[in-house]
Structures are given as structure tokens and as C-alpha cells.
Chains A and B, each alone.
Chain A
Amino acid sequence: MSSPILEGRELVKSYDDGRVAALRGVDITIEAGDYVTISGPSGSGKSTLLHMLGGLDVPESGEVLFRGSILGKTVDLDTYRSCQVGFIFQAFHLLPTLRAVENVQVAMLAKNGRANHRLERATALLEEMGLKDRMKHFPNELSAGERQRVAIARALANDPAILLADEPTGNLDSVNSANIMEILRGIRETRGMTLVIVTHENEIASSAPRHIRIRDGRIEA
């Protein structure tokens, strides 16, 4: 039997010198190709869990395993983030001094590769996101929906196995939200990626085949 693509075991994390418990022994297993949403009230620990699954943060105790290997021990966190995970953030987190096409390329700069290959890939991804005419625009010249599509293209730049999205529609209107969700579901179906979305929107949370609710640092269902 093959290992799950992601597994969290007894994950514990607190802030403010232990005064605020973010995760209180969370166990989670995600299979390759799963589409999972995680929801919960503010401060429930859902973003903290996503950060740990993505190798952005490390648990105080417990461990995260990628295909059976422990993150931070047998798998280097930087390599994991650059090769296996694509992040999408609520605030987009595009670099303001770079054009759209450069923002996508910047994700590939840390990996060896030819500059023209990086440009070709970034161009293809932005075209896929329907941004063919917006490639040379800076983030402040793009709408919120367009910025998030640039961020999705950037997340896909290194062809990751897992796409992690933290409130991807949190800064968008309903039309753009629907558009972004359609893009994310389409990516998962066409590329067979594992998709994990943290959201506080019930409609999005319930749209996934698997929905995890988290409250006070514990998984409810």
C-alpha cells in the first residue's frame, strides 16, 4: 500500500510563549489527488495547519510526512517548498516591482534552469490563466482577480504535486471568487494535483469531496 502524499501526526503549535494554542495534537492524512477544504472560525488553527503541511512552519511536536518522509528531517523544507508545493495566499503576495510575467519567473529563479525556459513556462501559464494581454503589467495595474490568477500561475511554475491555498477568494468579489475556484478545480482535474484549500466560506468548503472542520486547534470532522 502506498503512503499518503501528506500526513500530519499529533501536530502541536502555540504562539505567545505557549499562551495561545493554535494546534492541539492534530492528525490529518491527505491522499494524492485529493481535493480537501479546511474551514473553521478565525483563530481556529486552519492557516497554521496549512503552513505546516506546506513546510512554511514547523510544529513544536509531532511531524509532517510527505510521501512517508518527515519534513525537516529526511526532506529539506526549502526543496520541498520549491519542488512539491505551490502556495496561493489571500493577499496574493506578488512582488510589486516585478511585472506579471516576472512574478511567475521569480518562483523558478531558485532552481537551475535556462532563462528562456523560465520565460516560456511563465508565458504559457499566464496564457492558461487568461492573462495573455496582462503579462507586462505590474501588480498595481491589475485587478484583484487578475492578481490572484498571476499568483496561481506562480504557484504552478515549478509543477508541484500539491497546491495549498489560504483563503484564495478572501479578497475577491463573488464573480472573481467563482472564477478562481473554477480555475483551481480545473487545475486539479487536468493535472491530477492534490488541492488543499483553507476557507471560511461555507459554499467553497462544502464544494470539496472532503471537508475538514477545525475548531480550537482540533479537527472536528
Chain B
Amino acid sequence: MVSQLSFTGFAWKNLRRRRLRTLLTLCGITMGIGAFVALVGFSRSFEHEWLRLYQSSGTDIAVVETSFFNSSLDESLGAKIKALPEVAQVAPLIFNLMDITPDVNALVYGWPADSYEFDSLKFTSGRPFHGNQPEIVLGDMLAENMNKKPGDTVTILGETFTVTGIFHGGTALEAGAVIMPLAQMQLIASREGKVTAFHVRLLPTPAGESYDEYVKRAQKEIDALEPGVRAEAAAERAGNNQIVALAHSVAWGTSSIALLIGIVGIANTMAMSVFERTREIGILRALGWKGRHVILLILTEATGLGFAGGLLGIAVGWGALRILSIMPQTASVVSTSVSPIHLIESLLIAIGSGLVAGAYPAWRGARLSPVEALRYE
């Protein structure tokens, strides 16, 4: 059977003729998309885990300080929030990402022993801590990584804590977390009398009012309690909390740079390819190819590179997330779940990168004069 030539087949042959360069270009865009999938996927799954955390504990509203970093509120604000007619329960807390050992870091929460947030935790061994003793409970994943069980001790920021229980966490944020008494956390973090946030459970929604309206009304009342206080609906807070916001910023910033490098790689390859194929483009133009056919050919090649790099990048990014999710240093905050929308978005960005990168070389190729291109040595 003799060969049937299609437009895409022609583009494919052009890419294959310089295999090493095509492969290196693919590596560039693969790394860019891989970084995007891994970093943005991580930050989004991180946000999703926060939302699940709020949902599993039944938190309706998170109250924080009106600042991006280091939200710090007086613990006494809790009583004022509790006094509001819509509020059922208030749980003050401090959280921070801390080094537990040189190899393991984890989210450390400070909760009062009577916090309603304990309701959603299932203890697989031991018990919750009591009062304000130097005691901690560990998420099951973290306990396994650190090989700890009730009765063992853990040193955090120079203070020794006794493990009183191991709990099963429904989310990666819980499964990899440390929870200690709020007063102990305030002590080791030098934040006596301060908390990061208050989690608020509301009373049941009154008849005749929607849940969203009810939450908004409660938010307004909390906001009015003190200047500099912001009440956010739990779903909103999941995306806005300082760690998630920082993760989003770092993820987008880093992956944008990686993507830019990938785009420049494709643009360089296509520009070189057009330069080397000047005479061939002249031949195509002599055969009646219009400028737009030349543009289409070059863009098809560039988009093909982007598409292939996108698929490979998704595999690399997902693989990176898998590795991060089992490494002790990152297991507590990384989940392997990547939404299909994120994957489609990654592929579209890869294809778009190819189009952007191929635009100038394509335009240049289309503008070549046929007769000058044919004379080109």
C-alpha cells in the first residue's frame, strides 16, 4: 500500500525529521505542563481538603483578622461571637505549618480540649488530650510516618509532648496533622491570648430564610463586633486562608515561569524550523500553497508539540503528586486527587502554548516571497 499524505501527516513528518530537537522541545513543554499540573493541582487539592475539613466539622463560618498573613485575634473575641443569637458554638484555634522532625513537617493545630471540632474525629487508639497539659493527638498518617503510638513523646519547638491518641482523619489535612491544647500552642508560638481564627457553628437555619442568607446575616453581625475582624463563609475561607492563598500564588507563579520556558522552547524550535525550511516553504508557495496554508502547517506542528507535551506533562505532574503524597515531608498536605477539569485545563494551556509559540514563526513563514525562498541556500 502506498502512502496517503494528509496535512497532519505532513506536519508529523516535519517534526520527525529533527527528532532530537523535537524531543528536547517536548521535554521543555512537558516540564512546564508537569509543573502546572503538580503545583496548581496541589494548591487546588489543598483548598479542597480545607473545604472538606470545614464540612466534616460542621463549621459554617471562619472568623479571621483582615490581613493576608498571620491572622491574629484576641481570644476574648470568642465570647462576643458566642453571644450572637445565630451562633451555636465557637471554636478558637491556632494553626501553623511546623517542622516536627528534620524530615517531617505537618500542620499543627491548637484547639481547646472542649472544641466541637473533636466531634468529627474518630480515635483509632488512645484518647483526646485533657485540659492544657503538654499532650498531643496525631493523625493516623502522620503517626504511621513517624512510627508513633499513644504514650510516645514528640518534641516540637523544643517542648516535649506526650501522644495521647491517634485519630483517623477524613482529609489529608487531618490525617497528617498534630493537634495540641490551644494554650500549649499559644505558649510555643509565643502568642498568648491570641488565636489564628474562630470556627463558628450556627444554629439551624430559621424557617423562611435560605442557608446562604442566614450565613451572610451572621457574617455581618460578626464583622460588626470589632474593627479588623472578617467573617467568611466556610467555602469561601477554604480558598482564602493564608496557607491556601500562598500555595495558589506560589503554584501559579512557578508554573507560569515553567510554562513560559516551555513556550520559548517551542517558539525557538519553530523559528529554527522555518529558517531551515525556507526553500521548502518556497517550493510549497510555488506549488500554490497560500500564506494561510503555511501558517496552518507551522501552527499544526507547534500545536502538535504542545498537545504531546501536554499529555506527557499531565503524566509527569500526576506522577510528581503521587510521589509528594507519599513523602513524609509533604504527605500531610498533598493529595493525589486531581480534578478532570484541571487536566483538561492543563491540556488546553499546552495547546494554547503551542499556538502562541508558533504564531510568529508561522507569520514569518507565510510572508516569505516564493522566489526569494527558492533562491535561499
Contact = CB atoms under 8 A, between A and B. Distances in A.
A118 B288 contact: no
Interface stretch (A24-32, A60-68, A99-107): A99-107
A116 B10 CA distance: 15
A154 B4 CA distance: 15
A56 B370 contact: yes
Given A82-B289, A93-B283, A109 B10 contact: yes
Contact of B2 (A89, A95, A111, A136): A136
A118 B5 contact: yes
A118 B370 CA distance: 24
Given A81-B287, A82-B288, A110-B290, A57 B371 contact: yes
B13 A106 contact: no
Contacts of A93: 279, 283, 286, 374
B287 A98 contact: no
Nearest to A87: B286
Contacts of A123: 2
A51 interface: yes
A37 interface: no
B286 A78 contact: no
Interface string B286-305: 11111101000000000000
B35 to A, nearest CB: 33
Contacts of B284: 106, 110
A98 B13 contact: yes
Interface string B341-363: 00000000000000000000000
A85 to B, nearest CB: 8
Nearest to A119: B4
A109 B371 contact: no
A166 B153 CA distance: 90
B283 A95 contact: yes
A5 to B, nearest CB: 17
A158 B288 contact: yes
Contacts of B5: 98, 101-102, 105-106, 109, 115, 118-119
B291 A78 contact: yes
A156 to B, nearest CB: 12
B75 interface: no
B3 interface: yes
A107 B288 contact: yes
B14 interface: yes
B280 interface: yes
A51 B16 CA distance: 32
Nearest to B4: A119
Interface residues of A, number: 35
Specify the main secondary structure of chain B where it touches its partner. Answer: helix
Given A97-B17, A99-B3, A115-B6, A56 B287 contact: no
A101 B2 CA distance: 7
Interface string B365-377: 0000111001000
Contacts of B7: 109
A143 interface: no
Contacts of B370: 56-57, 81
Contacts of B371: 51, 56-57
Given A93-B374, A106-B10, A79 B288 contact: yes
B13 A81 contact: no
A208 interface: no
A118 B2 CA distance: 12
A78 B4 CA distance: 24
Contacts of A115: 4-6
B14 to A, nearest CB: 7
Contact of A102 (B3, B286, B291, B369): B3
A101 to B, nearest CB: 5
Contacts of A158: 288
Contacts of B291: 78
Contacts of B288: 78-83, 85, 107, 110-111, 158
Contacts of B280: 95
Contacts of A95: 280, 283
A107 B286 CA distance: 9
A135 B287 contact: no
Most interface-central of B4, B13, B14, B16 (chain A CB within 10 A): B4
Contacts of A97: 13-14, 16-17
16 contacts: A56-B371, A57-B370, A57-B371, A78-B285, A81-B286, A81-B288, A82-B288, A87-B286, A93-B286, A97-B13, A97-B16, A101-B3, A106-B287, A118-B5, A119-B4, A119-B5
Interface of B: 2-7, 10, 13-14, 16-17, 279-280, 283-291, 293, 369-371, 374
Given A78-B291, A97-B14, A99-B2, 10 more contacts: A51-B371, A56-B370, A78-B289, A97-B16, A98-B13, A101-B2, A105-B4, A115-B5, A119-B5, A123-B2
Interface of A: 51, 54, 56-57, 78-83, 85, 87, 89, 93, 95, 97-99, 101-102, 105-107, 109-111, 115-116, 118-119, 123, 135-136, 154, 158
The 5 closest A-B pairs by CB, nearest first: A82-B288, A81-B288, A105-B5, A78-B290, A57-B371
